[in-house]
Every structure is written in C-alpha cells, then in structure tokens.
Amino acid sequence: MELLGLPVQSSVLVYGLLAVALLLPLAVWFVSRQRSRARLQWAQYSVLSYVLTDTLEAAVLVDARGIVDFVNPAAEKILKYKLRSARGKHFSELFTLVNPVTLESMVWLNAAQGDVRPQSGHALLNASGINALQVSYTVRPFVYTDTQQPLYLLLLRDQTELYALQLRLDHLEMHDQQTMLLNSKSFESRLKVAIDQVRQHGVKHVFCLVSMDQFKLVNDTLGHSAGDVLIERISRILKEEVDPRRDVLARLGGD
C-alpha cells in the first residue's frame, strides 16, 4: 500500500517529520515564553524585595495561603525572625494581629483577598517577645505580570511612640500644668455629665468651690514663686482627701 506515492511506513515517517517541524518552533516559543515570564516574575520580585529592604516599615509578603515569602530587615527586627527562618512558615507562626477594640484575632488576609483595594487600620501586634504592640497596618495584593497568583504585602508601622505622644498631648490639653489638676475645660465637660445624670436619673452630686483669700497678698509680698508653691501644696492636700474614682478635682482659675 502506498500513500502519496510512498510506502505507508515511509509516509508515516514523513508526516511525523513534518509534524515535528511544525510543532518544534511552537514548543521553542512556548518554552521561551515560560522562561521569559519566569525571568519577568523574578525581576519584579527582585525589584519589590530591593525596595522593601530599604523601607523603614516592617514588610511581610505572603501568598494566598498565608505562607511567608519575604520579610524585610524591619520585620526581622520586630518579629525576631530572619528571612531564611521565616520563609515557608505560615504567618500565624510568626505573629498575629488583634483588633484593639474587641481583642479578637484579625482575619486581615481574608479581608485583603476579598478586595483589590489596599486595606488599612490599627491593630495590636503579638509576636515572639512582643505583646500588644500598637501598630498601624496596610495590606494590599501584589500580582505578577501574566499570573493569577497574587502575593499579599503587609506593612506594619510601630505607633507606640505616636500613641504615647498623643496621650501626653491629651493629658496636657485637659490638665492644669502647674498642679496637674483638671483644667476648666475638662471640668466643664465633667459638670455637664453630672447635670445630665441629675436630670435623667436623679443622681445627687455636691459642688464645692474653694477660693484662697488674700492670695494676691502672698504674690505681692513674697513673690509669684512663693504663690506657686502655696498653690501646689494646697493641691496635693486636696488630692489626698478625694477619691479619684468618684470625685472630680479641678483648678478653674488662678487661685
């Protein structure tokens, strides 16, 4: 039997060679494309890693399963894990983020997977040797070109000093700087609450105004420094006589 004037065996061989000739360029193109894609992904990863290495924020890169792929030096310092030890572990082995209000563990990765927009907020960080570190966080997906397998970048910023400063500023705003008693602004706020309690629930309160007679004479004869010392001593005496759990002690004016 002949095919195209050739024996069958020869024809099969010819067609096989033709198929190889046609498919070989396609196979070469496919392999080349895969290698190019891999090189592009590696280049993107290298650039991202390089940028994150120099950032002051703690950066953690995880895949969709939560497996750690990269941590930068700032994250190594906070989490007490080097990159070689952290890579391949689930992030929960390194740290957890806790909601500062409910004190429940946050599912930050699930939230990020459900939204392409960056997610941000405040949390408490628990890690090796760290308990309830106040941080702000941002998490966003990072998709390599031509792939559908995103990584998720978590940035953590230590807010301990900022929160401490804010508490200090709040304290300064609400207290008299000489005696550290509540100032008039804070007292007015407390007084409004007390009046509302009287009107709504019939709760009884006692208001007592203390004024130092002839205080101006002390300033005029002994100087303002002596007057300041007198105010501070009287404030300490009054503090010892009140219960801060139920009583409000404030300085409304100069004396």
Give residue 198's pLDDT.
87
Vertex 120 angle, CA 118 and 124, to 5°: 145
- What is the C-alpha to C-alpha distance for residues 77 and 133, in angstroms, rounded to an integer? 13
Mean pLDDT to the nearest integer, 155-183: 84
Q: CA 15 → CA 3, 8, 201, distances in Å? A: 11, 10, 98
Pick the residue with more confidence: 173 or 52? 173
Q: CB within 8 A of 86, min separation 6: which ones?
A: 68, 71, 75, 76, 79, 94
Token reading at 108 = 């930050």
Give residue 31's pLDDT.
46
Give residue 116's pLDDT.
64
Above 70 in pLDDT, residue 21? no
Mean pLDDT to the nearest integer, 96-125: 85
- At 96, the pLDDT band (50, 70, 90 cuts) reads very high
What does the mean pLDDT of the chain come to?
78
Give residue 135's pLDDT.
92
Question: Over the stretch 84-94, which tens digit does the pLDDT of each residue have?
Answer: 999 999 999 99
Residue the block writes with tokens 């503090």: 239
Question: Over the stretch 114-153, which tens digit does the pLDDT of each residue have?
Answer: 766 778 899 999 998 888 899 999 998 876 555 556 788 8
Do 52 and 61 meet the contact criterion of CB atoms below 8 Å apart?
Answer: yes
- What is the C-alpha to C-alpha distance for residues 24 and 153, in angstroms, rounded to an integer? 40
Per DSSP, which regions of the chain are E strands? 2-3, 6-7, 58-62, 68-71, 95-98, 119-127, 130-142, 151-158
- What is the C-alpha to C-alpha distance for residues 45 and 48, in angstroms, rounded to an integer? 5
Cα of 229 vs its chain's centroid, Å: 44
- Stated length of the chain: 255
To the nearest whole percent, how much of the chain has pLDDT over 70? 75
Above 60 in pLDDT, residue 73? yes
- At 29, the pLDDT band (50, 70, 90 cuts) reads very low
Q: CB within 8 A of 226, min separation 6: which ones?
A: 218, 219
Task: Give the SS3 label for residue 100.
Answer: coil
Residue 153 has phi, psi (to 5 degrees) of: -100, 120
DSSP 8-state secondary structure symbol assigned to residue 106: P
Give residue 48's pLDDT.
64
Above 90 in pLDDT, residue 244? no
Above 60 in pLDDT, residue 186? yes
